[in-house]
Structure 1
């Protein structure tokens, strides 16, 4: 498994670049067919089983990706706004970001799927993808043999559990227990303010308060590599994996992709393949395409990159969810969580999106932010936090080729940010922009962005003031009441404290080939005009779903694998 094919061997049938949420699924599903050879490569390590991942990456009470420069991450310098530099981690190695993220595994909303289908991707309609969503999961709460009799009495939540959820898929799903005192108080406060219960956030009931579906079970984060590529799958004779392998350029001969130039153990070589699938993530995949001459012709020409295929949509429609961290001080030590850092979660539709699928998310952390950043479950005296984000679908950013001479972004804006920001700022100052793409998120570029975030902050403050939470809390630490009551002051606070949910999508969007300004691949990831080349990661989503995209990333792997198995790749 640890060596690339020898020179002179026949090309592999499918070369998958990136072993993350979608890539691990692709390798597992495609190698189910014994006559198809599959090679899975990644720049990071390829652990084999829980023992090789180790407790640092498996402990569901922590988020390795929150720790600056964790070895299982790659950090990208970005600008959230022109004045707000930041760094965004992406997972590397088997499992990708599912190895280092919080384990949040919530499906996109029906409105997201149907919007994507209406944009020329009919296979993405909710009713079309539901069988794939069911088949990828082992839902331990609402699966066929799960606790389907729990309260499900609002709107679409009355749908039959066996039709909505699976119990035989590779990804285990368990919802947070809400037994921690802070989680119990959050649930009670949400009810006191009149928000409905939402016991199953993976059906399509109206948004409300409920536990978080997660791929963490009994305190263990089951990343997608661990779940989809156990030892018995890795031992398939037609599947090979290769870690420590950096993809440098896609090889295109006579208009067709025929392989990838890689660097492995200090040497460069070409890995030949009949089909190349890029699953390197919404930053690395478009960057690799651009470096290979596939992207906006004018931009490629400016950087002296020979144009292989003019696809102006690549990098032009980046989307993500803006986020803020709101700290509150418990009156006494509430104890550490047993199984997961995730508490309860409230979704609601903002006044801007009244009646919509819920564009505001208030997610509870049961571990102090200082603990998540420092790798410790308990930090005596530290505040707890709510992660407050706007789950909008509008693409606002862009990704371009970066200049090798690009300087490091100014980090002064970090100096007075949240308690964990100094570590991030310090890490940012030591980052090199050399070889990295130029990424701008375009957050806060519309008045509605501020309106939604103001409502999210004020709703969180109201929850903390409700009797159930105020009994445990000294209240919101920042912003102060005077700032909360003043739109302009609150907007300034938002600008100074803005972060990202790290839900990047849309950098290689899918859609029909007659609209190349908006679409670079078809609904099954085939790159328009480059036979033999596909993309399978959240790059292909036309915009960002109303929920974090981890579950949707796995779905992408399932859909593209199914398409390859049904079609001549």
Structure 2
């Protein structure tokens, strides 16, 4: 088996599978290296099942993390071909124009990336719109039929009755409001980037010889020759490449960079890693969406067995962000058999920023994750507002909010800021939308430039949600695939042509 390639792609998640498929389709000799499994068990593909996100599942890294003082949790990340997109709930919403404007990276405006969002999708509901694609590898649709009538429509009606505006197409780049969730599911089954871009056995007859997939192959370190990355070290051998692209996700990417001696000097020395290239922003200053789940006691009919997990969402302005810094998301399908449905309440533009640090050079040792949620008065205020708005929606929809015996807040907690803060802290979780751990930009903490090249090094790019300077106001699944699409053009030197 050859050890030399044109490009080595490290990590077969949403961006990595997209990038590898597009490169191989253009005849670029590509190695796709994945630490997890490369065969997705059939029982993990039903979109209604989130079983693979549970701690201990073979398809899940399940990182331990500190969310805030006194509150820890397990963070699921996909450990399989397709990455987290192979085990998530199917939420497929684009970042909004204000996100790209806030990031302020030249060449990364919403209009710049729109052709890539269009290229990846075949939107079954809005295929005639110039904001959507009609020939991409991912079929995108929204709830319909009995599912929509039973769950989505009452939720949307309640939002409208409370005065919130309607947002029928959450991927149109318009103003925030209430609308159905676009999802990448077909016939009740999750369609990840692996399924869409790497059809079995990893490519079609025209280009599969250009792609080599290494499964169950953790990358130990990047190989550096001075300021040039020449490949990766895996299992005692080196895979050489003219260019290496790290797409290991917003946890795996900064951890690999740090293990390779690329990152903040103090973090590297504390972990026993020699400093090869100091970059203070690796693993620092990232963001994610803090969330709590408000359970329903009753009043919601059982959804069909093939129901996608999230059906609808209200995105809204807390009073300081017209682009929508809060999200109330309807999960009508229980997370466990016999369990309740939920409304997820999240702050989509948090001020609090997290830190990630490796603890040793060993790739088997997980990094330390500190989300530092709800450290600011603004974040706590907005989380309280999201929970109270969700409670209003439940009342307007005629659904019964679960009380303290069922895990929900009591009325006296909803009406008192201090007590509600306590309930939120005790029930706090993460949306698993970590972004910005190897951020794009030109400032002192930036890790990659606008072409996704790592500052100060040659032969190395990063292409996953770690490059987004902040977590987008909507979940990042669609944006991760968009990054993979754009990275393929950047690597091939045809950025801007938007080829299929």
**Displacement of 1:207 after TM fit?**
1.0
Q: Tell me, yes or no, if the aligned pair for 1:390 and 1:456 is still in contact at 8 Å.
A: yes
Aligned twin of 1:250? 222
Question: Quick check: 1:135 aligned with 2:119?
Answer: yes
**Displacement of 1:384 after TM fit?**
1.5
Question: Quick check: 1:166 aligned with 2:133?
Answer: yes
Secondary structure of the residue aligned to 2:77 is strand
Q: Which moved more, 1:170-179 or 1:239-248?
A: 170-179
* 1:475/1:252 CA distance change after superposition, 3 Å: closer
Structure 1, unpaired ranges of 5+? 48-52, 145-160, 372-378, 406-432
* 1:221/1:140 CA distance change after superposition, 3 Å: same
**Displacement of 1:500 after TM fit?**
0.3
Aligned twin of 2:169? 200
**Displacement of 1:44 after TM fit?**
1.3
Secondary structure of the residue aligned to 1:448 is helix
Q: 1:40 aligns with which of 28, 32, 36?
A: 32
Number of paired residues? 487
Aligned twin of 1:368? 334
Q: 1:473 aligns with which of 400, 417, 423?
A: 400
Q: CA RMSD in A?
A: 2.0
Aligned twin of 1:322? 290
With normalisation by structure 1, the TM-score equals 0.82
Q: Tell me, yes or no, if the aligned pair for 1:510 and 1:521 is still in contact at 8 Å.
A: yes
* 1:73/1:66 CA distance change after superposition, 3 Å: closer
Q: Tell me, yes or no, if the aligned pair for 2:65 and 2:74 is still in contact at 8 Å.
A: yes
Q: Tell me, yes or no, if the aligned pair for 1:56 and 1:64 is still in contact at 8 Å.
A: no
1:314-352 C-alpha deviation (Å, 9 max, x unpaired): 11112100010101111475454543222221111112x
Secondary structure of the residue aligned to 1:463 is helix
Aligned twin of 2:457? 530
Secondary structure of the residue aligned to 1:191 is helix
C-alpha separation between the residues in 2 aligned to 1:337 and 1:346? 24
Aligned twin of 2:256? 288
Structure 2, unpaired ranges of 5+? 496-500
C-alpha separation between the residues in 2 aligned to 1:298 and 1:332? 52
Q: 1:511 aligns with which of 441, 447, 466?
A: 441
Secondary structure of the residue aligned to 1:329 is strand
Aligned twin of 2:203? 233
1:100-119 C-alpha deviation (Å, 9 max, x unpaired): 00011100010001222x2x
Q: Tell me, yes or no, if the aligned pair for 2:292 and 2:344 is still in contact at 8 Å.
A: yes
Question: Quick check: 1:209 aligned with 2:196?
Answer: no
1:217-251 C-alpha deviation (Å, 9 max, x unpaired): 22111111001111372552111111010100100
Aligned twin of 2:101? 114
Q: Tell me, yes or no, if the aligned pair for 2:352 and 2:375 is still in contact at 8 Å.
A: no
Q: Which moved more, 1:523-532 or 1:225-234?
A: 225-234
C-alpha separation between the residues in 2 aligned to 1:400 and 1:247? 17
Aligned twin of 1:308? 276
* 1:497/1:506 CA distance change after superposition, 3 Å: same
Q: Tell me, yes or no, if the aligned pair for 2:350 and 2:379 is still in contact at 8 Å.
A: no
Aligned twin of 2:473? 546
C-alpha separation between the residues in 1 aligned to 2:364 and 2:217? 19
Stretches of 4+ aligned residues off by more than 6 angstroms = none
Secondary structure of the residue aligned to 2:245 is strand
Larger Rg: 1
Secondary structure of the residue aligned to 1:172 is strand
With normalisation by structure 2, the TM-score equals 0.93
**Displacement of 1:404 after TM fit?**
8.7
Secondary structure of the residue aligned to 2:452 is coil
Aligned twin of 1:462? 392
Q: Tell me, yes or no, if the aligned pair for 1:464 and 1:475 is still in contact at 8 Å.
A: no
C-alpha separation between the residues in 2 aligned to 1:400 and 1:201? 35
C-alpha separation between the residues in 2 aligned to 1:27 and 1:234? 13
Question: Quick check: 1:17 aligned with 2:10?
Answer: yes
Aligned twin of 1:186? 155
